[in-house]
């Protein structure tokens, strides 16, 4: 296991492409996009065909309490767990 951090000064879609080219694979991915713009949906759609996920990679999305994730039914992801707070929630997503 490699320790440390790397900062990519890129938008998320460019960063995903760069990480794919580098052959990086992640155990955990945490997303905290701006609320109510469906950016998490765009990233999950990109991750659906990405090679940066292990079979057991856990994806955690912080989103507004109103954000819906029904579209996951048509993907290879499912909600493993969800923790709701007053105005936001953490959605734990896994591959199926």
The structure's pTM equals 0.90
CA gap 85, 92 in Å, rounded: 14
- Note the CATH architecture for domain 25-95: 3-Layer(aba) Sandwich (3.40)
HSE of 9, CA atoms in CB hemisphere, 13 A: 0
Which residues of the chain carry a pLDDT beneath 70? Answer: 1-2
* Extents of the domains making up the chain: 25-95
- Reported as half-sphere exposure (CB side, CA atoms, 13 A), residue 43 has a value of 24
Q: What is the reported pLDDT for 7?
A: 86
């Amino acid at each position: 296991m490699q320790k440390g951090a790397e900062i990519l000064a890129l938008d998320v879609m460019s960063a995903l492409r760069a990480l794919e080219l580098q052959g990086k694979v992640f155990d955990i991915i945490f997303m905290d996009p701006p609320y109510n713009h469906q950016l998490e949906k765009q990233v999950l759609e990109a991750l659906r065909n990405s090679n940066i996920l292990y079979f057991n990679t856990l994806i955690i999305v912080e989103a507004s309490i109103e954000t819906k994730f029904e579209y996951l039914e048509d993907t290879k992801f499912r909600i493993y767990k969800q923790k709701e707070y007053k105005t936001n929630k953490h959605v734990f997503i896994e591959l199926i």
